[in-house]
């Protein structure tokens, strides 16, 4: 084990050095607040406590700080790893500023929605623990948003081969995993589950309707619809319900109506472009598809290899040897006269008699 620690540290430092200032600053802040938690109760001061978030206390700064507060080493590793993965996979497509905006939107929304849900739970149960004993903090909310963004940009990437799991199924699988941990009692609080759920939801809403890019706002493609996060058996029902909610939000002018653009003047056949599809994203997918096609063609060529030129020359030599006639008995070679066709044994030609 000690053998691999220097190698892992070297790879980690190399990956961190290649990231932007935003990723380095967030990672350093996570580590700094973790060290500070040894002396100060940082989840209480910087985490979201539902009873203190809303008036009369109104601790609004916790909406910004709760995403970088960790109490355990594995939490620090998960938080820094999530931020670095986002910097390696999403920042080249978005840019550092858009990454920072996404980080802020997801964390603020997850903290606000989680605090509001616990407030509603208190109203229904009158249990003060839901207001003052719950601490919402950590990387769960941002992890949900990052997995949703990865589903949008590279959802067809295979994460596990046996069983085959694609990246587009990761948000639902992680949600199921956290729910099982909570039901089994391994999670002592429902705050990570709530934070992850609201982080994934807020990330999807932002990417679906509000993210600005070179071709407009949002991503209204079918593969990124809300129903695509659910199993195929329930997707029609979820799609119908999501369509009703979206229509109501459009009438309230909270969301915009889905619009498809048709490029009739294209040099090729009619092309359909959906607003929200980034050209860099499309180019990335084309490169992945081309790589997969080249690998498949290479496997086919390896299975059915063509004969080489040496094999063809050997075949020609064999044909020449079969054309030559064998020696006659006694060592005599056959005459050099051309071989007659079968017809020559039936029809003979003689000289005409001379006239006297």
pLDDT at 5 (0 to 100): 66
Would you list the domain boundaries of the chain?
Answer: 4-210
Instruction: Encode pLDDT of 173-198 as tens digits.
Output: 999 999 999 999 999 899 999 999 99
Percent of the chain clearing pLDDT 70 (strictly above):
74
Work out the end-to-end distance of the chain between its first and last CA atoms, rounded to an integer number of angstroms. Answer: 118
Give the integer Cα–Cα distance in Å for 106 and 145: 6
**Among the listed residues 136, 149, 130, the one whose alpha carbon sits nearest the alpha carbon of residue 63:** 136
Backbone angles phi, psi at 48, to 5 degrees: -85, 115
234 versus 304: the higher-pLDDT residue is 234
Average pLDDT over residues 144-172: 89
Reported as a pLDDT band with limits 50, 70 and 90, residue 348 is very low
pLDDT score at 284:
63
What is the residue-averaged pLDDT of the chain?
Answer: 80
Q: What is the pLDDT of residues 49-61, one digit of tens each?
A: 999 999 889 999 9
pLDDT at position 279 over 90? no
Report residue 263 as tokens. 């490029």
Contacts for 317 with CB less than 8 Å, ≥ 6 apart: none
**Residue 354, CA atoms < 13 Å, CB-side half-sphere:** 1
pLDDT band at 136 (very low <50, low <70, confident <90, very high): very high
The lowest-confidence range among 98-102, 160-164, 313-317 is: 313-317
Please compute the mean of the pLDDT values over residues 102-129 and round it to a whole number: 96
- How is 119-138 classified by DSSP, letter by letter? HHHHHHH--THHHHT--B-S
CA R_g for the chain: 36
User: Would you give the DSSP letter of residue 56?
Assistant: T
* Angle at 50 (CA atoms; ends 199, 30), nearest 5 degrees: 55
Task: Take residue 114 and report the two structure tokens written for it.
Answer: 């989680």
Positive or negative, the Cα torsion across 50, 141, 275, 269? negative
Nearest residue to 170 (alpha-carbon basis) of 111, 85, 106, 243 = 85
Among 149, 167, 147, 150, CA closest to 158: 167
Cα–Cα distance measured from residue 50 to residue 58, given in angstroms and rounded to the nearest whole number: 10
pLDDT of 322 > 50? The answer is no
> What was the pLDDT predicted at 182?
94
Q: Which of 65, 22, 28, 60 is nearest to 47 (CA)?
A: 65
pLDDT classification of 83: cutoffs 50, 70, 90: very high
CA distance 152 to 168: 8
Does domain 4-210 sit in CATH 1.20.1540.10?
yes
pLDDT score of 69: 96
Query: CA-based angle 162:168:172, to the nearest 5?
Result: 90
Nearby residues of 323 by Cβ (< 8 Å), 6 or more positions away: none
Strand partners, 272: 262
d(CA 207, CA 178): 24
127 has a pLDDT exceeding 70: yes
* Sign of the CA dihedral running 321, 326, 332, 334: negative
> Do the Cβ atoms of 37 and 70 come closer than 8 Å?
yes
């Amino acid at each position: 084990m000690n053998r691999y620690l220097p190698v892992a540290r070297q790879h980690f430092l190399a990956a961190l050095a290649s990231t932007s200032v935003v990723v380095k600053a967030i990672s350093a802040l996570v580590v700094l607040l973790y060290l500070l938690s040894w002396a100060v109760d940082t989840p209480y001061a910087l985490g979201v406590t539902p009873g203190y978030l809303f008036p009369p206390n109104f601790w609004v700064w916790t909406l910004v700080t709760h995403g970088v507060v960790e109490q355990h080493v594995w939490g620090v590793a998960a938080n820094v790893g999530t931020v670095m993965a986002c910097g390696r996979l999403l920042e080249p497509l978005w840019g550092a500023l858009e990454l920072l905006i996404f980080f802020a939107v997801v964390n603020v929304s997850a903290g606000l929605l989680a605090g509001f849900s616990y407030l509603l739970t208190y109203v229904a149960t009158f249990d003060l623990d839901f207001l003052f004993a719950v601490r919402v903090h950590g990387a769960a909310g941002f992890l949900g948003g990052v997995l949703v963004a990865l589903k949008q940009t590279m959802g067809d990437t295979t994460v596990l081969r046996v069983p085959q799991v694609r990246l587009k199924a990761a948000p639902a699988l992680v949600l199921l995993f956290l729910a099982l941990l909570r039901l089994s009692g391994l999670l002592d609080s429902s705050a990570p589950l709530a934070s992850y759920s609201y982080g994934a939801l807020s990330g999807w809403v932002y990417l679906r309707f509000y993210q600005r890019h070179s071709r407009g706002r949002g991503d209204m493609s079918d593969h990124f619809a809300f129903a695509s996060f659910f199993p195929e058996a329930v997707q029609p029902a979820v799609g119908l319900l999501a369509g009703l909610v979206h229509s109501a939000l459009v009438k309230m002018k909270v969301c915009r109506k889905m619009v498809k653009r048709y490029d009739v003047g294209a040099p090729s056949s009619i092309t359909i472009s959906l607003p929200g599809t980034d050209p860099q994203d499309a180019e990335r997918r084309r490169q992945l598809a081309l790589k997969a096609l080249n690998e498949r063609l290479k496997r086919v060529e390896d299975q059915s290899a063509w004969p080489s030129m040496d094999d063809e020359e050997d075949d020609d030599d064999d044909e020449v040897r079969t054309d030559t006639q064998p020696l006659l008995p006694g060592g005599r070679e056959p005459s050099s006269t051309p071989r007659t066709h079968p017809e020559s044994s039936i029809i003979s030609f003689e000289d005409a008699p001379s006239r006297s």
